[in-house]
Structure 1
Amino acid sequence: MSAPHGPGFSGRLGWGTHPAVVVIDFVRAYAEPDGPFALPEPGPALAACAELVDAARAGGYPVVWTVVRYTPGLADGGLFLRKVPALGAFAEDADGDWGEIAPPLKPAPGEPVVVKQYASAFFGTSLAATLHATGVDTVVIAGVSTSGCVRASATDALSHGFRPQVVRQACADRTPALHANNLADLDAKYADVVDLSAALTRLSTRP
């Protein structure tokens, strides 16, 4: 049976030899029920992210985090903020500390936290340079939301010469359909979508 997107899609990128886990924007705004971007069931994805991070640390692989943050007054929000006004919750002077990374996730000392203003973790940030400088060739992507910042980051990872591996159970979105549909399209064109168990196995072994 041919791939659902046709025979010209859904090739495999595979893993290189030097992966890094990148956790995209899994902050309190998504994880808490009264947050401005509250997910219906964040618990399973949070737990999966924690497993990935633990496996990367145990295997000696880098872990990088991203958060969205704006200056007081939102001067650096641009048109993205006009399109999604709720992003104002990530201003430095906003109430609620919604931009804090959600427990039980927590960056370890020395793990970079990349601050961004737009969807992609690569746009206008030092992420690509940081990863290239440490020899990373594979980006294991987790976080939120699947249809937004995860998708944009995976697409840009490919454009920057990395092999994006999007971990199905470690991402989440505001509806199951959005999550599933975007994973299917990412897997067809921009990334390999992999199961948590396979990612954990790969991170537990050295090349």
Structure 2
Amino acid sequence: MSRQIERIDPAKSAMIVVDMQNDFVAQGAPLESAAARAMVPKLAEALQACRDYGIKVIYTAHVHRHDGSDLGPHRTNIAGRTVLLDGTPGTEIYPELTPQPGEHIIKKHRYSAFFGTDLDMILRQWGVETVIISGTTTENCCQATARDAMFRNYRVAFLSDATATRDYPDLGFGPMPNAEVHRATLVILAASTGHVMSVVDMKQRIVRSEARAAE
């Protein structure tokens, strides 16, 4: 199956907004990504285009139970279990990207939105063949979701300017600024997983259905 996507059919596509939650996006948040907050307008533009064309939108939220029973390897990553706690304001979608009525939020406990969730069931019920990936972080939850989508035979459109990450500290191999992490991930995904494209490119590839064209 070719990774290149020439046409995006609204009736067979869905946009996945990955983890654009207050704990990641809000200024001063515990897991803040300034780059994710900076790309909010571009993501909002992509959302509006998808909604205008009738492409279904589905959100994910990375959450954990208050007793830590679903943390697994995240036990060391989420210090003190004070962030990403299910039901707290930090896990809510960033206000500028609030889901519209009828748009689902998939709660997940690992990077991939497919792992341990009913996302695949929903997408197949909708007849989705192409998923459009946006959100944060590029190299973790967005990439994991894109890879799992590809493993399940979905075509993957990965939005280069509606995904973002954060700086990495030196953990033995030197630090990496967020722009370098982001670019490296895009290069890898383009070579192995899906069609990496800008929001403008995505909009140009959407094919308006005859039914919507007549509206």
What is the TM-score normalised by the length of structure 1? 0.87
- Report whether the alignment pairs 1:58 with 2:52: yes
* In structure 2, C-alpha distance between the alignment counterparts of 1:54 and 1:166, rounded to whole Å: 17
Instruction: Name the structure 2 match of 1:124.
Output: 116
Match status 1:172 vs 2:161: no
* 1:13 equivalent in structure 2: 4
Instruction: Label 1:186 to 1:67 Cα distance change in 2 as closer, same or farther (>3 A).
Output: same
Report if aligned partners of 1:36, 1:86 keep a CA contact under 8 Å in 2: no
- CA shift digits 1:134-160 (9 cap, x unpaired): 111000000000010000000000011
Higher helix share: 2
The share of aligned pairs that are identical, in percent, is 28
What SS does structure 2 have at the residue aligned with 1:115?
A: strand
Residue 31 of structure 1, CA deviation = 1.3
Residue 4 of structure 1 corresponds to none
Structure 2 distance, partners of 1:148, 1:51, is 23
Distance 1:134 1:57 in 2: 15
Alignment of 1:32-181 (within 5 A): 32-79=26-73, 81-86=74-79, 88=81, 89-92=83-86, 97-174=89-166, 175-181=178-184
d(CA) in 1 for partners of 2:8, 2:52: 18
Q: Which amino acid aligns with 1:169?
A: D
Instruction: List alignment gaps of at least 5 residues for structure 2.
Output: 167-177, 211-215
Query: What code does the residue aligned with 1:154 have?
Result: A
User: 2-side partners of 1:203 and 1:23: how far apart?
Assistant: 18
Q: Is the 8 A contact 2:8 2:207 kept in 1?
A: no
- Residues 162, 48 of structure 1: alpha-carbon distance in 2 compared, 3 angstrom cutoff: same
Partner Cα distance (1:171, 1:102) in 2: 14
* Equivalent AA in structure 1 for residue 43 of structure 2: C
Q: Is the 8 A contact 2:15 2:133 kept in 1?
A: yes
The aligned counterpart of 1:192 is: 195
SS, match of residue 61 in structure 2:
strand
Aligned CA distance change for structure 1 residues 101 and 189 (closer, same or farther; 3 Å): same
**Higher mean C-alpha displacement, 169-178 vs 25-34:** 25-34
Letter matched to residue 195 of structure 1 = S
The total of aligned residue pairs comes to 194
Alpha-carbon distance in structure 2 between the residues aligned to 1:111 and 1:86: 31
Cα gap change, 1:78 to 1:56, in 2 (>3 Å)? same
Q: CA RMSD in A?
A: 1.8
Q: TM-score, normalised by structure 2?
A: 0.84
- The 1:75–1:101 alpha-carbon spacing in structure 2 relative to 1, beyond 3 Å, is same
Q: State how far apart, in whole Å, the 2-side matches of 1:44 and 1:203 are.
A: 25
Per-residue deviation, 1:75: 0.8
Structure 1 spans left out of the alignment, 5+ residues: 1-10
Contact map agreement 1:72 1:93 (CA 8 A) in 2:
no
